[in-house]
Chain A
Amino acid sequence: MAEHARDAEFTAYVAARSGWLRKVAYLLCADWHRADDLVQESITKLYVNWHRAGRAENRDGYARKVLVNTFLAEQRTSWWRRTDRTAVPERALFAGGDLELALDLRRALAELPPRQRAVVVLRYYCDLTVDQTADTLGCSTGNVKSQCSRGLAALRRTLPTAGPALSEGAV
């Protein structure tokens, strides 16, 4: 009975939120197939630890933490696969407006070290505060600020047209 309830709750949650998790995963790894793998592993962990997720005040926050940690752990254990960054897809047949920025941004994000990328995604896609980002990554707020600053600086170098949004000191 307990397992049935657990499954029903888990199913409802994942059905509602897997799309969002997939987007976050894609921003982290810039590849939809890898994003699927990351989400697959993350929701499996979520299932195993559902008792903990269920108690979490912020279930999305817990799921996001699992996802980001899974991403970072994967980076650590498969560095051979990530040393060559030439696999980032070249820009497709899109032009103008946000799409152009999006494609440039995908390339620029993919060139960031994983942890800087995670900080940028958590801060500016997930809209987390510095404190929340630090909690998600299990590090200090100072570390988040420095990672963020370096990440934005790198984006500014590769995305010079992004303008003041990436200005130094605006972390």
Chain B
Amino acid sequence: MTDDFSPLRAGLEAMVEIPGPVSGVDLQRAQRDGRARLRRRRQGLAVAGATLAVGAVLTVTLVASGGTGGAVGPAMGASGSPSPSATGPSRAASAPVVSQTTASYTGRDPLTVEADFGWLPSGIDDVRYQLAFDGMTVHATSSRAAVNDARATMFRLRAYPAGVTPELSGSVVGSQAVRVAAPAVNGQEAYRVTSDGLADTEGPNLLRWRSADGRWLELESGYLDRADREQVPLRIAAGVRLERRALPLPVRIRDVPAGVVLSSASFERRTESGKETWRLLLNHSTPAGYFSTLVVPAMAHPSGTPTAPGGSIDTGEREDCRPDQGLEICVASIQDAALGPVGGLQGWLGKVSLLGTDPAKWTTDVVD
């Protein structure tokens, strides 16, 4: 390293010396969250240990036969339920990159919701359906939230599987979790979870209530004004629709090799410049790493400049894009080797069929 770069180094040093806000990093919260993740990992390992042999065989069988099993992890096997206590880590779950954890689902559509928002406050028009290692959740926020505004009002909805009672301690970050009685939701038992160690507006704000069929539902609210912290979640909860529904998606994926598993998926609708748009993101993991598949309407590519097949956009990731049917699909990976099992970037693109811009032509038969 030469001193030729000393002005650049000095500039970088000076950048971090300009006084910023007091650090919001919470060491205790990291420990609590970390312990919760470790608990899930251990619980998952127990399940995985019992099902590993069966799961490995089942994985190959289901993929080969086009059966009804969903994505499974390389170390998990077909473990089934999206319950936090039933999901387990893949080998990659212990790696630093959390994106390589495994998402479990059943059926042929990875994005199958059990509950969905009904009423939402005015301006909350960005809804994202997300499947990740901790199961299926539905997120809502404002399309007009400021860029990089980590404190925009948001809501996250989760339906626990029948028979699963959410733990008090496993769901709260920060200080000690506190259960607070809440008014009934649609005549059913409800309570709030917050914290005893933080100011009311800073602590977690979870509302849990039973559905008519006895399942627990959970609504996490973030960055609400103090006056809204109790009433708005109650109103949202009262409007939640409980129904199992596979989201039609604009892709069909075939011939996924064994060992290539879905680690997360999301479908998001939002309004941009007065127009509704959407994006579908699928993250797959392989033993060598992970890769992402992004599908958007053709004019909505994040780079704004679709690239030719074999090209590379300016994100630093290797990425191949292909326009088709009014859509654009981009496959990206940081680690080239991750795409080896699917025949490289072009190989994977060949396995994915785009179904056009008309949602009426989309499918719930996404993965065979």
Contacts and interface: CB of A to CB of B under 8 A. Distances in A.
Contact of B96 (A7, A66, A103, A166): A66
Contact of A45 (B1, B7, B96): B96
B7 A165 contact: yes
A24 B183 CA distance: 45
B251 to A, nearest CB: 18
Given A43-B25, A79-B302, A125-B12, 12 more contacts: A18-B25, A36-B23, A36-B25, A40-B25, A47-B31, A77-B283, A82-B302, A102-B14, A105-B15, A113-B314, A119-B316, A129-B1
A26 to B, nearest CB: 6
A33 B21 contact: yes
B147 A81 contact: yes
A75 B332 CA distance: 12
Given A81-B147, A113-B314, A147-B316, A73 B97 contact: yes
Interface of A: 7, 10-11, 14-15, 18-19, 22-23, 26-27, 29, 31-34, 36-37, 39-41, 43-49, 52, 62, 65-66, 69-70, 72-73, 75-77, 79-87, 92, 94, 98-99, 101-106, 109, 113-116, 118-121, 124-125, 127, 129, 137-139, 143, 147, 150, 155, 162-167, 170
**Which among B15, B27, B34 has the highest number of chain A CB atoms within 10 Å?**
B15
B13 interface: yes
A27 B12 contact: yes
16 contacts: A40-B26, A40-B30, A41-B98, A45-B96, A47-B35, A52-B94, A73-B98, A77-B264, A79-B302, A80-B270, A98-B13, A105-B12, A106-B15, A116-B314, A138-B335, A162-B7
Nearest to B93: A48
A165 B281 CA distance: 39
Given A43-B27, A66-B96, A101-B10, A124 B5 contact: yes
B11 A69 contact: no
Interface in B306-358: 314-317, 332, 334-335
B4 A170 contact: yes
Contacts of A138: 289, 334-335
Given A37-B150, A83-B302, A23 B16 contact: yes
Given A23-B16, A45-B98, A165 B4 contact: yes
A73 B37 CA distance: 19
Nearest to A43: B30
Interface in B4-61: 4-18, 20-21, 23-27, 29-31, 33-35, 37-38, 41
